[in-house]
């Protein structure tokens, strides 16, 4: 089992950090894809506040929207480490594009694959994995973010249907989505025990979407508010059992945090590459700024953040692939990698001096995009509470 020179151990496990030939091939494919289809457009998409929607089909064609999903349902298979390699590369190119995959595949398709009936898998997975459909994840509401268990959207049983009313806020892919994985209160059980998950076609009458504009970062991403007024879905839209919706949401987010972490490694790597290149070119005091020790400190801090964030992320992927518990490790990876991405982009901006502050150079966008990573899919404070609960056995929620 231990064949490489470099290995990590935790518990009784040994992880070989050498990538397999297949994983290397996936990484190369993702790098080429990002160089060709994403990086050249990232600044323009950011300025236009809209990623070209054609990217979704391209992501589907190359197999990135089907990673880890069974080929039987249109997926491209592969392991979770490969998924992290792809999300890292996409995060390096443009976090707005990375988010499309992390949500449509990571939060929606993978959750349908894990919790869906045969009928639901056949109805949604081929479309989501090919890029014909886009999925979004509707948990947050105007009044409930961190405290999602108290959401107020209601699904009331009416014969063979449910009728849903409520509002969802900050929904990634929201204006583009064909299907909403929606969380609503369907029983009188208190708190999270009353929540159920539904697969709601986005064109169902009564569902309206409003684009959220003016974001600090992720400007190319289609973020929306969803308003549901008398939205009628058949009982077969229920994903998993009634009252188990919060478990569905938390299982999705546990894997989702790994994907955010991998995207953050990509941001930090982009910051590192940009800082090293610029430090070699820019001269002050008669020599390249790379020759000033305090500039080297900024760059080396970024490099350590990249490596540490990546190792934490790969550990999660390894645990998932071996069927081991991973939720707390995923919170650790997301907490560290998101804070590291902000630090890395900020350090890179410092290396660029005043030029870093204008959007002709890439580092300002990296910092703006990184900033949300410590907020969504559970803020840094919420990750600390998850980790603290695991260590102490006491829930602070
Ligand atoms: P609040 O929960 O109000 O938190 C405010 C502050 O209080 C934070 O600092 C928080 O850490 C702190 N806080 C709250 N409770 C505690 C506590 N118990 N202890 C200590 N500190 C606490 N949601 C979706 O459902 N789907 C999406 O696709 C999605 N995409 C998003 C995209 C973007 C660009 C953004 C900005 C958000 C997105 N969200 C999405 C919502 C996101 O997950 C929430 O914003 C996040 O969970 C925080 O909720 P909140 O904004 O209501 O902040």
Taking the CA of residue 382 as reference, the ligand 1 atom at the shortest distance is 11
Burial label for 123, CB within 10 Å (0-12, 13-18, 19+), is middle
Taking only the tens place, the pLDDT of each residue in 294-326 is: 999 999 999 999 999 999 999 999 999 999 999
Decide whether any atom of ligand 1 lies within 6 Å of the 218 Cβ: yes
**Residue owning the nearest CA to atom 48 of ligand 1:** 145
225 has pLDDT over 70: yes
Q: Residue 397 domain-assigned?
A: no
The reported pLDDT for the residue numbered 16 is 72
The reported pLDDT for the residue numbered 14 is 60
152: CA distance to ligand 1 center in Å? 16
Q: Residue 1 domain-assigned?
A: no
Same domain, 89 and 203: no
Same domain, 114 and 50: yes
Give me the active site residues, please.
Answer: 377
Q: How many CB atoms lie within 10 A of CB 316?
A: 28
Q: pTM score > 0.85 for this model?
A: yes
| CATH number of domain containing 254 | 1.20.140.10
Residue located via tokens 């030939």? 21
The reported pLDDT for the residue numbered 10 is 53
Domains in the chain, number: 3
189 has pLDDT over 90: yes
229 has pLDDT over 70: yes
Which domain, by its residues, includes 195?
Answer: 137-243
Listed in sequence order, the residues at least 6 apart from 5 whose beta carbon sits closer than 8 Å to its beta carbon are none
Same domain, 98 and 192: no
Same domain, 207 and 270: no
215: CA distance to ligand 1 center in Å? 14
338: CA distance to ligand 1 center in Å? 14
Give the model's confidence band at 23: pLDDT under 50 very low, under 70 low, under 90 confident, else very high: very high
Provide, rounded to the nearest whole percent, the portion of the chain with pLDDT above 90.
Answer: 95
**Residue owning the nearest CA to atom 29 of ligand 1:** 171
**Residue owning the nearest CA to atom 39 of ligand 1:** 170
49: CA distance to ligand 1 center in Å? 22
Say if residues 224 and 265 touch (Cβ distance below 8 Å): no
**Residue owning the nearest CA to atom 43 of ligand 1:** 376
Last residue of a domain, one of 78, 101, 134: 134
Taking only the tens place, the pLDDT of each residue in 344-377 is: 999 999 999 999 999 999 999 999 999 999 999 9
Q: How many CB atoms lie within 10 A of CB 194?
A: 21
Same domain, 383 and 251: yes
Give the model's confidence band at 97: pLDDT under 50 very low, under 70 low, under 90 confident, else very high: very high
Last residue of a domain, one of 112, 134, 156: 134
4 has pLDDT over 60: no
Which of 141, 379, 383, 384 has most ligand 1 atoms within 8 Å of CB, for mutation? 379
Cα dist from 42 to 35, 91, 224, 239, whole Å? 11, 11, 20, 35
The reported pLDDT for the residue numbered 9 is 52
Listed in sequence order, the residues at least 6 apart from 114 whose beta carbon sits closer than 8 Å to its beta carbon are 251
Give the model's confidence band at 12: pLDDT under 50 very low, under 70 low, under 90 confident, else very high: low
Last residue of a domain, one of 178, 213, 243: 243
The reported pLDDT for the residue numbered 15 is 58
Taking the CA of residue 144 as reference, the ligand 1 atom at the shortest distance is 52
**Residue owning the nearest CA to atom 8 of ligand 1:** 379
Q: Residue 226 domain-assigned?
A: yes
Taking only the tens place, the pLDDT of each residue in 190-210 is: 999 999 999 999 999 999 999
Q: Residue 2 domain-assigned?
A: no
Q: What is the mean pLDDT of residues 8-17?
A: 60
Provide, rounded to the nearest whole percent, the portion of the chain with pLDDT above 70.
Answer: 96
115 has pLDDT over 60: yes
The reported pLDDT for the residue numbered 328 is 98
Q: What is the mean pLDDT of residues 160-175?
A: 98
Decide whether any atom of ligand 1 lies within 6 Å of the 379 Cβ: yes
- Among 10-19, 43-52, 136-145, 378-387, name the one with the lowest average pLDDT: 10-19
Q: Which residue has the higher pLDDT, 247 or 8?
A: 247
Q: What is the mean pLDDT of residues 41-55?
A: 97
Distance CA 115, CA 113 (A): 6
- Closest to 273 measured CA to CA, from 19, 6, 31, 27: 31
Taking only the tens place, the pLDDT of each residue in 101-112 is: 999 999 999 999
């Amino acid at each position: 089992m231990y064949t490489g020179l470099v290995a990590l151990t935790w518990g009784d496990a040994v992880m070989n950090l050498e990538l397999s030939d297949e994983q290397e091939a996936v990484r190369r494919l993702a790098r080429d894809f990002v160089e060709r289809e994403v990086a050249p457009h990232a600044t323009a998409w950011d300025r236009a506040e809209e990623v070209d929607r054609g990217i979704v089909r391209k992501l589907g064609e190359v197999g990135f929207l089907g990673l880890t999903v069974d080929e039987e349902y249109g997926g491209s298979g592969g392991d979770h480490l490969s998924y992290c390699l792809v999300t890292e590369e996409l995060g390096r190119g443009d976090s707005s594009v990375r988010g499309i995959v992390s949500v449509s595949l990571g939060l929606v398709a993978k959750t349908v694959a894990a919790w869906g009936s045969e009928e639901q898998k056949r109805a949604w997975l081929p479309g989501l994995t090919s890029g014909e459909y886009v999925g979004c994840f509707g948990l947050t509401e105007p009044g409930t973010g961190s405290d999602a268990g108290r959401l107020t959207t209601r699904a009331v049983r009416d014969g063979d249907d449910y009728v849903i009313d409520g509002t969802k806020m900050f929904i990634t892919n929201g204006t583009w989505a064909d299907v909403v994985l929606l969380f609503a209160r369907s029983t009188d059980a208190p708190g999270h025990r009353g929540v159920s998950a539904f697969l709601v076609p986005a064109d169902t009458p009564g569902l309206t979407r409003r684009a959220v504009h003016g974001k600090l970062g992720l400007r190319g991403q289609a973020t929306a508010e969803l308003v549901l007024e008398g939205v009628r879905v058949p009982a077969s839209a229920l994903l998993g059992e009634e009252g188990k919706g919060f478990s569905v949401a938390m299982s999705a987010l546990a894997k989702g945090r790994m994907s955010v972490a991998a995207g953050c490694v990509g941001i930090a790597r982009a910051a590192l590459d940009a800082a090293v290149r610029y430090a070699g070119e820019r001269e002050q005091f008669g020599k390249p700024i790379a020759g000033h020790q305090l500039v080297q400190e900024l760059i080396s801090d970024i490099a350590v953040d990249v490596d540490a964030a990546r190792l934490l992320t790969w550990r999660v992927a390894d645990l998932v692939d071996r069927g081991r518990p991973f939720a707390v490790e995923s919170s650790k990876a997301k907490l560290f990698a998101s804070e590291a991405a902000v630090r890395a982009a900020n350090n890179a901006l410092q290396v660029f001096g005043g030029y870093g502050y204008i959007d002709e150079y890439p580092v300002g966008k990296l910092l703006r995009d990184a900033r949300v990573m410590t907020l969504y899919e559970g803020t840094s404070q919420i990750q600390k509470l998850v980790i603290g609960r695991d260590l102490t056995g006491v829930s602070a929620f």
